[in-house]
Amino acid sequence: MFFSSTDSEKKGKEVKSNLYYFAENQMLDCNQYIIKDPNTGDLALFDAGNGISLKGLFKGMEKFNLNPSNITKVFLTHEHVDHVLGLYPLMKLSKSNPIEIFAYGETAEILTGGDESRIFPGNFGMNPKMFGVEIIPLEVTDLINIKEIKISSEYKFQIYYTPGHSLGSISYYDSDKKILIPGDLVFTGGSFGRYDFPGGSLNTLINSIKYVNNLDVEYLLPGHMGISDKGNQQIAFSYKMIQSISFF
Under 8 Å between Cβ of 210 and 104: no
CA angle 79-82-83, nearest 5°? 50
Binding segment (CB under 5 A) for Zn ion, from list 73-81, 94-102, 156-164, 211-219: 73-81
What distance in Å separates the CA atoms of residue 224 and residue 184, rounded to the nearest whole number? 7
Expressed in angstroms, the distance from the first to the final Cα of the chain is 45
Cβ of residue 176: shortest distance to Zn ion, in angstroms?
A: 28
Cβ of residue 73: shortest distance to Zn ion, in angstroms?
A: 21
Cβ of residue 222: shortest distance to Zn ion, in angstroms?
A: 11
Cβ of residue 34: shortest distance to Zn ion, in angstroms?
A: 20
Q: Which is nearer to Zn ion, 73 or 80 (CB)?
A: 80
Q: Which is nearer to Zn ion, 109 or 184 (CB)?
A: 184
- Any contact of residue 80 with Zn ion (CB under 5 A)? yes
Q: Which of 28, 184, 187, 208 binds Zn ion (CB under 5 A)?
A: 184
Q: Which is nearer to Zn ion, 36 or 80 (CB)?
A: 80
Question: What distance separates the 2 farthest-apart alpha carbons in the chain?
Answer: 54
- Any contact of residue 47 with Zn ion (CB under 5 A)? no
Can you state the angle between helices 231-245 and 202-213, rounded to 10 degrees?
150
Please tell me what DSSP assigns to residue 238: H
Cβ of residue 197: shortest distance to Zn ion, in angstroms?
A: 7
What distance in Å separates the CA atoms of residue 27 and residue 3, rounded to the nearest whole number? 8
Binding segment (CB under 5 A) for Zn ion, from list 13-21, 54-62, 93-101, 180-188: 180-188
- Any contact of residue 10 with Zn ion (CB under 5 A)? no
With a CB cutoff of 8 Å and minimum separation 6, the contacts of 233 are: none
Binding site for Zn ion (CB under 5 A): 80, 184
